[in-house]
């Protein structure tokens, strides 16, 4: 299955571009089976030459969805696909960067129709999309618009598939080939790995842990490790002699275990996760007019944080969403610097807290609603979710707003009993990473239930 796509961007500095339009056709090798296209609000200026080239301007994008609003649909339509694009390296980089800003790993195989065309139809004067399709008699409407360019790329790709009679070129041009030959020891490791959710540990011959990871499907993730061609993966493939694992039943506990155990064990190939991942935080304060303000700042363990973020762009994207969902003021959330009214007020989407047209009381109530949703500070609760088998449940303990640890219990147990809780909770470190993992997970995923506790339940 292929995801044939085209992306239009704002232009600008490398890795600072934003998407203005995207079109994706899901193609099974014979016909289009699904499609998606949308303008995208890039939340940044568009370069003038890009406006002239594409005809897409800021006014057209003012009410367009932001990337996080279309991200789920992009993941769905590209699921289990090879990405195909004309100059695939560019489109894939842009898409990967946008997902990185959201803290999501987007990693698919790619095929480039520029490279394929040069191999299969050599000696043409130009391989730019416009000139190439004109030479081949392929219709192209709306040049430099995502839908028109992507549709032309679909027709071009069909032609290239026909010309590739040996099928060798397409296979060789796939950037990451998961079917290449594996060392016998790696095949044996994969055979014995489970398909369940958990944390896995890669060992050298002397037992030293060289890498710790987590996955919803351990076997699938190990296969990716052992078929990847990047430098780190190749080193791991040479050094690993055994993989052990611990099933966790759900992804939340897997994330918490991975985070803590990497910091404790410091595996040589987990350098990036040894230190805290979340360098920005969201905090609140009351200004001299009585309004509650929100502020993105560098993470500081000495300061109370509502939530934390991997980078400033992720924090800003999240705060735009929060401002919109809770009808807050862009000036008071630090997204629009002005001494007067904010931008949303000018289009009548802000009630006027920025110029004191709305009293602090009702505005602060909406901020309080957001804070209640995003923080479990001063809460005492149990987070109950799936266990490692059908008769088991997992439990995470939050006490005084702090993560205390996790455990597993049989369905016959009454886990709100203090003595039972003491016996099953594995104590864990409460730090910014753990807080971020839990809060972020609760916002994005459903757990079986949460149980509120009275203070000092387990003391």
Q: CA 8, 12, 15: angle at the middle one, nearest 5? A: 80
**pLDDT band (50, 70, 90) for residue 292:** very high
- Kindly give the residue spans of alpha helices, DSSP state H, lying in 309-379: 312-325, 343-346, 360-374
CA–CA distance, 83 with 109 (Å, rounded to integer):
6
In this predicted model, which residue has the larger pLDDT, 118 or 168?
Answer: 118
Q: Give the per-residue pLDDT at 359.
A: 94
Specify the pTM: 0.52
Q: What is the 3-state secondary structure (H, E, C) of 236-302?
A: HHHHCCEEEEEECCCHHHHHHHHHHHHHHHCCCCCHHHCCCCCCEEEEEEECCCCCEEEEEEECCCC
Cα Rg of the chain, angstroms: 26
CA–CA distance, 110 with 228 (Å, rounded to integer):
14
CA distances from 9 to 40, 152, 173, 292 (A): 9, 19, 25, 36
CA–CA distance, 409 with 272 (Å, rounded to integer):
33
Strands (E), 90-183: 110-112
Residue 443 structure tokens: 């916002």
**pLDDT band (50, 70, 90) for residue 399:** confident
* CA 453 centroid distance within chain: 32
- pLDDT tens digits for range 228-260: 878 888 899 999 988 888 889 999 999 999 988
Q: Are 63 and 28 in contact (CB under 8 A)?
A: no
Q: Give the per-residue pLDDT at 419.
A: 62
In this predicted model, which residue has the larger pLDDT, 182 or 43?
Answer: 43
- Which 3 state secondary structure label does DSSP give 409? strand
Q: What is the pLDDT of the chain when averaged over all its residues?
A: 84
Among 94-103, 164-173, 412-421, name the one with the lowest average pLDDT: 164-173
CB atoms within 10 A of CB 261: 20
Query: Average of pLDDT values for 80-92?
Result: 89
Q: Give the per-residue pLDDT at 166.
A: 47
Closest of 202, 267, 201, 211 to residue 241, by C-alpha: 202
Closest of 49, 67, 12, 14 to residue 316, by C-alpha: 67
- Which 3 state secondary structure label does DSSP give 439? helix
Q: At residue 377, does pLDDT exceed 70?
A: no
| Phi and psi at residue 365, to the nearest 5° | -65, -40
Q: Are 402 and 426 in contact (CB under 8 A)?
A: no
Q: Give the per-residue pLDDT at 214.
A: 94
b (16+ CB within 10 A) / e for 415-441? beeeebbeebbeebebbbbbbbbbbbb
């Amino acid at each position: 299955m292929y995801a044939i796509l085209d992306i239009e961007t704002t232009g600008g500095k490398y890795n600072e571009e934003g998407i203005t339009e995207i079109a994706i056709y899901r193609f099974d090798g014979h016909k289009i089976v699904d499609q998606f296209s949308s303008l995208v609000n890039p939340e940044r200026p568009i370069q003038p030459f890009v406006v002239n080239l594409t005809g897409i301007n800021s006014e057209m994008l003012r009410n367009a969805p932001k990337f996080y609003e279309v991200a789920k649909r992009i993941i769905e339509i590209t699921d289990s696909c090879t990405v195909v694009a004309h100059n695939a390296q560019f489109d894939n980089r842009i898409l990967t960067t946008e997902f990185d800003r959201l803290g999501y790993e987007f990693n698919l195989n790619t095929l480039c129709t520029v490279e394929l065309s040069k191999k299969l139809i050599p000696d043409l004067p130009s391989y730019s999309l416009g000139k190439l399709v004109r030479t081949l008699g392929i219709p192209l409407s709306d040049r430099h618009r995502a839908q028109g360019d992507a549709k032309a790329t679909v027709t071009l790709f069909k032609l290239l598939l026909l010309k590739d009679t040996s099928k060798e070129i397409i296979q060789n041009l796939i950037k990451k080939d998961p079917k290449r030959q594996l060392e016998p020891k790696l095949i044996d490791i994969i055979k014995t790995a489970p398909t369940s959710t958990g944390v896995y540990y890669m060992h050298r011959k002397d037992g030293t842990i060289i890498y710790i990871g987590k996955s919803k499907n351990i076997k699938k993730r190990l296969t990716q490790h052992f078929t990847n061609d990047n430098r780190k993966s190749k080193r791991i493939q040479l050094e690993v002699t055994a993989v052990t694992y611990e099933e966790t039943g759900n992804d939340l506990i897997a994330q918490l275990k991975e985070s803590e155990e990497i910091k404790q064990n410091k595996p040589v190939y987990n350098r990036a996760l040894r230190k805290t991942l979340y360098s920005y935080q969201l905090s609140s304060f009351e200004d001299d007019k009585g309004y509650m303000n929100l502020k993105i700042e560098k993470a500081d363990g000495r300061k109370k944080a509502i939530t934390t973020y991997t980078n400033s762009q992720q924090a800003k994207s999240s705060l735009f969403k929060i401002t919109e969902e809770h009808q807050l003021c862009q000036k008071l959330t630090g997204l629009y610097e002005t001494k007067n009214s904010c931008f949303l007020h000018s289009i009548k989407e802000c009630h006027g807290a920025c110029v004191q047209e709305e009293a602090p009381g009702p505005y602060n109530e909406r901020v309080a609603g957001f804070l209640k949703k995003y923080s479990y500070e001063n809460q005492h609760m149990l987070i109950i979710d799936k266990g490692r088998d059908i008769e088991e449940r997992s439990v995470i303990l939050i006490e005084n707003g702090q993560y205390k640890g996790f455990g597993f219990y049989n369905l016959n147990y009454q886990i709100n009993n203090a003595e039972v809780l003491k016996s099953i909770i594995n104590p864990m470190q409460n730090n910014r990473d753990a807080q971020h993992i839990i809060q972020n997970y609760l916002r994005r995923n459903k757990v079986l239930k949460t149980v509120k506790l009275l203070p000092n339940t387990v003391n």
